[in-house]
Structure 1
Amino acid sequence: MIIGVLRETAAEERRVALIPDDVRGLANMDVIVERDAGRSIGFGDADYRASGARIAERAEVFARSDIVVWVKPPAYPLDSVRPGTTLIGFQDPLHRHDVIAGLRERGIESIGYETVPHSRPDIDALSAMSRIAGAVAYAQGRQLFSAQGPVRALILGCGQAGLSAIAAAVAHGDQPTAIGNRPDQESAAIRYGAETFLPNPVGLLAHLAAEPPDLIVCAAVHRGTRGPLLLDGAALDTLRPGTVIVDLVAKSGGNCVATVPDRTVTLPNGVIVTHRSNYPTLRPVEASSAYSAATAALLKTRFANELRLE
């Protein structure tokens, strides 16, 4: 089996799907790495050669590989991928559904980390990236909030990103409140440091009016589905000027009606809404190491056939 590792081409992407240490651990597989794939995080082609990999141009990676791994879908067409190839990485199934279907018709399978079950934490790259994203997004939002001292934070969603944002709020000395969609999420939210947990987003508008937050992190989404709209126009009208909203799930539809993908906007009432497509890339070494560990584990266990993207 030959594994191909691509150099990332998505905008501002600095991660790599496999780092040299994990390539070295794939003892029974041949690995071909696209030239300069790890350069953005300090790994040169010589590091990959020392790990046992071959360095090649992109065309050869696709021509020779049985499995091709990436972090984010390439920014170029996949016309050169040969039938029988398996593509592993984030697949963005909501926006790339037709592309994935077309690849399948050509005999090319797409395996998305969006479909990996929580029961397999060793190969759950999505959860690992979500934890990094939650912490980074909270820090980014806090930088946009102009007032000094502790802030009142509201975290929408208690998945991995939301829990990480709660922990980041505590680390900053802030006072986080969490809103989940199930009462059984309360114990996790409190364990991560939430001072208050609201088990039902239906009560969000009343909460915003009674206790206006300074910073809101939107992280409510189930993997592979569209995120629910939680902050509509009425909710935004209750917020004070200078309130910051960080929407982590804009690519899945967004939790905030005013979110503009990859932009920071200030609304007429002074509320700031921000989003970026790729928070983990702001910690590229940490994120690459976590992503690579999941990818190597997936390859070693040959778990691919159980993770087909529907």
Structure 2
Amino acid sequence: MIIGVLRETAADELRVALIPDDVRGLVAEGLRVVVERDAGRAIGFADVDYAESGAQMAERAEVFAGSDLVVWVKPPVYELNSMRCGMTTIGFQDPLHRRQIIDDLRARGIESVGYETVPHSRPDIDALSAMSRIAGEIAYDQGRQLLSEPKPPLRALILGCGQAGLSAIAAAVAHGDEPTAIGNRPEQQAAAIRHGANTFLPNPAGLLAHLTATPPALIICAAVHRGTHGPLLLDAAALDALRPGTVIVDLVAKAGGNCTATIPDRTVTLSNGVIVTHRSNYPTLRPLEASHAYSAATTAMIKTRFSSEHAS
């Protein structure tokens, strides 16, 4: 099997799908790896680092021409016309917005393996959870910086108790703030409390009453099931209940968003002084850390597929 590693082309994307150390491990297992030139340059991995790890460096066209399996972090911005029947792509596939592209590739005999659908029961290949943990922490820090007086203890509200939400809770505790978590399943309470939530509300239906009674300074929106649209939790009535200067960070805008006022990749101030912000890619703010975690999951995914092919 020949593995192709692409240089990322999405806006502001600094990560790389495989780091040199993991390339070395794959080569040691008998796999060939072809890396697009400058794939790791943004985070300090030169082409020579990959070559010394056993990879062949190539131009993009050569990567596609010679690979059986191509890995990326985010989908390329260019057309995938050079892919051949029998090839596989591994990475974030953005199935909500790229469904037609994925279906067209499938019709051409090309498989698209997306981390959005990896089950939680496979933590070794669960790149989404790894990236979500990084995103939750960064999103909390970024939101805090938008506050006019970010002095602890702040009241923080975390919507959603997945990996991003739990990470945001831990970040709040690290800042000395007082986080409240809202989930849609009672069993999420133990995880939220374990990460430091002062209070857990098991029913989003009580959100408006909570906002009115104990208005938070910072809200992190992280409520979404992987591969699906996020629920609208902060509607016009909820936004009207917030105080001027409240900051909302919506992590799930690409999945529809939890806040009705979210605009993808924008920071806006509403007429009542509430600030709503979104960024498509928080993990790229820590590209080296994120690349190590992403590469570990990608390496495990490749080995899993390689082993299954040899077993069949």
Task: Specify the alignment match of 1:137 in structure 2.
Answer: 139
Instruction: Find out whether 1:4 has 2:7 as its counterpart.
Output: no
Task: Tell me how far apart the structure 1 counterparts of residues 150 and 112 of structure 2 sit (CA, whole Å).
Answer: 47
Task: Tell me how far apart the structure 1 counterparts of residues 171 and 60 of structure 2 sit (CA, whole Å).
Answer: 39
* Corresponding pairs, count: 306
Q: How is 1:142-221 mapped onto 2 (pairs within 5 angstroms)?
A: 142-150=144-152, 151-221=154-224
Aligned-partner residue type, residue 18 of structure 1: L
Task: Tell me how far apart the structure 2 counterparts of residues 257 and 172 of structure 1 sit (CA, whole Å).
Answer: 28
Task: Specify the alignment match of 1:52 in structure 2.
Answer: 54
Task: Specify the alignment match of 1:91 in structure 2.
Answer: 93
Q: Secondary structure at the match of 1:187?
A: helix
Contact 2:267 2:277 in 1 (8 A): yes
Instruction: Find out whether 1:24 has 2:24 as its counterpart.
Output: yes
Task: Tell me how far apart the structure 1 counterparts of residues 268 and 75 of structure 2 sit (CA, whole Å).
Answer: 27
Contact 1:218 1:245 in 2 (8 A): yes
Contact 2:144 2:150 in 1 (8 A): no
Task: Specify the alignment match of 1:241 in structure 2.
Answer: 244
Q: Secondary structure at the match of 1:302?
A: helix
Deviations 1:177-234 (A, max 9, x none): 0000011100000000000000000000000000000000000000000000000000
Q: Secondary structure at the match of 1:40?
A: helix
Q: CA deviation at 1:14?
A: 0.2
Task: Tell me how far apart the structure 2 counterparts of residues 205 and 169 of structure 1 sit (CA, whole Å).
Answer: 22
Q: Secondary structure at the match of 1:188?
A: helix
Task: Tell me how far apart the structure 2 counterparts of residues 138 and 174 of structure 1 sit (CA, whole Å).
Answer: 11
Q: Secondary structure at the match of 1:245?
A: strand
Deviations 1:242-266 (A, max 9, x none): 0000000000000000000000000
Contact 2:244 2:272 in 1 (8 A): yes
Q: Secondary structure at the match of 2:45?
A: coil
Using a 3 Å threshold, how does the CA distance of structure 1 residues 120 and 69 change in structure 2: closer, same or farther? Answer: same
Task: Specify the alignment match of 1:69 in structure 2.
Answer: 71
Q: CA deviation at 1:303?
A: 7.3
Using a 3 Å threshold, how does the CA distance of structure 1 residues 69 and 37 change in structure 2: closer, same or farther? Answer: same
Task: Tell me how far apart the structure 2 counterparts of residues 194 and 115 of structure 1 sit (CA, whole Å).
Answer: 28
Aligned-partner residue type, residue 121 of structure 2: S
Q: CA deviation at 1:276?
A: 0.5
Task: Tell me how far apart the structure 1 counterparts of residues 160 and 115 of structure 2 sit (CA, whole Å).
Answer: 20
Deviations 1:112-149 (A, max 9, x none): 00010100000000000000000000000000011141
Aligned-partner residue type, residue 9 of structure 1: T
TM-score, with structure 1 as normaliser: 0.97
Task: Specify the alignment match of 1:266 in structure 2.
Answer: 269
Q: CA deviation at 1:111?
A: 0.3
Q: CA deviation at 1:82?
A: 1.3
Aligned-partner residue type, residue 97 of structure 2: H
Aligned-partner residue type, residue 35 of structure 1: R
Aligned-residue Cα RMSD (Å) equals 1.1
Aligned-partner residue type, residue 265 of structure 1: V
Task: Tell me how far apart the structure 2 counterparts of residues 3 and 148 of structure 1 sit (CA, whole Å).
Answer: 47
Q: CA deviation at 1:305?
A: 8.0
Task: Tell me how far apart the structure 2 counterparts of residues 166 and 159 of structure 1 sit (CA, whole Å).
Answer: 11
Structure 2's unaligned 5+ residue stretches are none
Task: Tell me how far apart the structure 2 counterparts of residues 249 and 221 of structure 1 sit (CA, whole Å).
Answer: 7
Structure 1's unaligned 5+ residue stretches are none
Aligned-partner residue type, residue 215 of structure 2: P
Aligned-partner residue type, residue 144 of structure 1: L
Using a 3 Å threshold, how does the CA distance of structure 1 residues 304 and 157 change in structure 2: closer, same or farther? Answer: farther
Task: Specify the alignment match of 1:280 in structure 2.
Answer: 283
Q: Secondary structure at the match of 2:189?
A: helix
Q: How is 1:108-127 mapped onto 2 (pairs within 5 angstroms)?
A: 108-127=110-129
Task: Specify the alignment match of 1:15 in structure 2.
Answer: 15
Q: CA deviation at 1:304?
A: 9.7
Task: Tell me how far apart the structure 1 counterparts of residues 308 and 75 of structure 2 sit (CA, whole Å).
Answer: 20
